[in-house]
Amino acid sequence: MNLTSYDWSIVFIVLALMILSVVLSKRYMKSVADFLVAGRSAGRYVISVSSGVAGLGAITIVGNMEMNLIAGFSMAWWGMTMALILLFITVSGWVIYRFRQTRCLTLAQFFEIRYSRNFRIFAGMLCFISGLINFGIFPAVGARFFIYFCGLPQTIPIAGLEVSTFALIMILLLGISIYFVLSGGQIAVIVADFCQGLFVNIVFVIIILFAYFSFDWGIIQEALAAAPQEASLINPFKTSHIEDFNFWYFLIGVFGVMYNTMSWQGTQAYNASAISAHEAKMAGVLAGWRGLPQTLLFLFVPIVAYTVLNHADFSSIASAVTANIAGAETDAIRNQLKVPMVLSHILPRGLMGAFAAVMLAAFVSTHDSYLHSWGSILVQDVIMPFRRKPFSSQQHLKILRLAIIAVAVFIFLFSLLFKQNQYIFLFFAITGAIFVGGSGAVVIGGLYWKRGTTAAAWAAMTVGSGISVTGIILHQLIDDFFINGQMFWAISMFGGALIYVLVSVFGSRRTFDIDRLLHRGKYARPNEQQIIRAVPARGWKILGMGKEFTRFDKFIYIINYIWTGGWTLVFVVGTIYNLSHEVSDSTWMEFWRIYIFIQVVLAVLTIVWFGWGGLRDLKRMLSQLKGSERDDSDDGFVREEQ
């Protein structure tokens, strides 16, 4: 066993604190809206930290490490191409602001109001199926991490039988996640995820500092420089021979970030949990700062792992890692385990336990959020549209809990039986595209274009999902099919968007009342207006700051502009210079060293900033929930007056 008693004590203390946070918060859950969206009471810092760790997950940590072990530093360079897109999305409130104005509890409720009930049912089923398959490998990846990282046996003798440790760990971790979400719904999820998010970021920064000061920069450069020609892990302009995680992978990702804003529903409850549309937008603005520790760990730790696996000075550790993972079922699983196993050999006592606790927190935070999301979607968007009248409040909560348990049972069985044979993020791309290939066009068109039609929505979803399913089948029939999961995602997005526009333009001439959908003008809700106070500026002024902004809000916006603009300038100037000059690996390594130093300093500052702001938001959220009156009709059922 790799963990000492001291390491295990850290894990159990963190778990106990997580459970305590749920026990203390579950009493605030008193209605369906509380269970689904925390009574729309969360502030920007709570939303940002909680949704961030909810989207992180043990599988995301493993997936990023797997990807960056192949891509190296080049990922960080091409990742800068997202800067302007993310700036536009966050400061303009792209999609998020308008969706919050609809007051919909789920995306498919919006689909019914904007398009039709039949389309809601179709989209809800498609979203649920896509999400369930995508979610299916989460428990398996997390369980394997704990078995190999902690050095657990493959089987455990129980009552004279050899029981699979893999299955037992999945049952244990899923059981904890189920308890969290059933206890207090989205309220308990937000509170637990916020506490876990702060802990995760603190440990990430400590691990980054440990790795930075423990490994000689010259040795790291020697290891990376030995990579094959045109598959450089140092110079992003010499990566033409890197397969899968290359320039095109990131370019598709840039487009997908904007096209699929809010489409993916794994953490959909956070989309409607903010106290106002403005707070939802500000949470998005803050997300880039909140994610600094995570992004930096995903970049630098795989670089260190690559050094350990490929430099002669660490040959004994590399041999031990190879021997440890030799028994894994497939190459895909062995690739997932390389970086975690390197960490199990280089992290000191105490930090081993802290990282195991981080992975436990990340596992639970993602699973409780995803179980909540997919269980809610099953009820709200697949079952409820068939009903002529809404459930009673008690019936509604009961069936939501049963749906969540059913989702947990499915992903347990899927993880137990499914044999993964491709990279995690490519699996995510192709399975997620079943829904998001067409939903991006449907969401954007529905919120921003009065000409978007129901027929166009049906066509976009059908084409997008059809392309993705075709890709999945081809990959099952043909090993190493030449179009990977990321490319199929790109094709499905393009096909879905094109057919949505064509059918809307050449179809019905009827227009939709966007003001009614967004509760604007004569449809405005007085209570909501007191919170929002103003709508964002339009046209070229969309990046401006309206009357709803406080002085500190404006300060955050300005700093965000400076930060994003600065790195964009670095990217543009660096790209032009590299295309016209030969830049040495040593120059690039010095750049990456400075880059990491800047990121570490800011990561430390953001932990303090978000910790203070989040605790303040959490206090306000629980105070509002304690004193507010509940509306039992606020349950996501679309009534005639809507």
Report the pLDDT value the prediction gives residue 100, as an integer from 0 to 100. Answer: 76
User: In this model, does residue 122 exceed pLDDT 60?
Assistant: yes
Report the pLDDT value the prediction gives residue 598, as an integer from 0 to 100. Answer: 92
User: In this model, does residue 125 exceed pLDDT 60?
Assistant: yes
Q: How confident is the model at residue 278 (pLDDT cuts 50, 70, 90)?
A: confident
Nearest to 181 by CA among 13, 407, 428: 407
Give every CB contact of residue 109 below 8 A, 6+ residues apart in sequence.
120, 380, 381, 636, 638
One-letter amino acid at 4 equals T
* Chain segment 351-363, per-residue pLDDT in tens: 999 999 999 998 9
Distance between CA atoms of residues 255 and 88, nearest Å: 13
Mean pLDDT computed over every residue of the chain? 84
Which CATH number fits the domain 5-259+276-421+559-627, given the four candidates 1.20.58, 3.30.70, 3.30.1560, 1.20.1730? 1.20.1730
pTM, two decimal places: 0.80
CA torsion angle for 416, 417, 420, 426 (degrees, to 10)?
-80
CA torsion angle for 135, 141, 147, 153 (degrees, to 10)?
80
Nearest to 217 by CA among 585, 593, 597: 593
Q: Report the DSSP beta bridge partners of residue 162.
A: 157
Q: Where are the domains of the chain?
A: 5-259+276-421+559-627
User: In this model, does residue 368 exceed pLDDT 50?
Assistant: yes
Contact assessment for residue 196 and residue 364, using Cβ atoms and an 8 Å cutoff: yes
**Cα dist from 334 to 39, 421, 486, 577, whole Å:** 43, 10, 21, 39
Contact assessment for residue 204 and residue 592, using Cβ atoms and an 8 Å cutoff: no
Whose structure tokens read 């804003």? 261
* Chain segment 521-577, per-residue pLDDT in tens: 788 766 654 444 444 444 334 445 667 777 888 888 888 888 888 888 898 899 999
Contact assessment for residue 439 and residue 81, using Cβ atoms and an 8 Å cutoff: no
Report the pLDDT value the prediction gives residue 640, as an integer from 0 to 100. Answer: 55
* Chain segment 186-210, per-residue pLDDT in tens: 888 888 888 888 999 999 999 999 9
* Chain segment 285-344, per-residue pLDDT in tens: 787 788 889 889 999 999 999 999 999 999 999 999 999 888 777 787 888 899 999 999
From first CA to last CA, the distance across the chain in angstroms is: 59
User: In this model, does residue 583 exceed pLDDT 70?
Assistant: yes
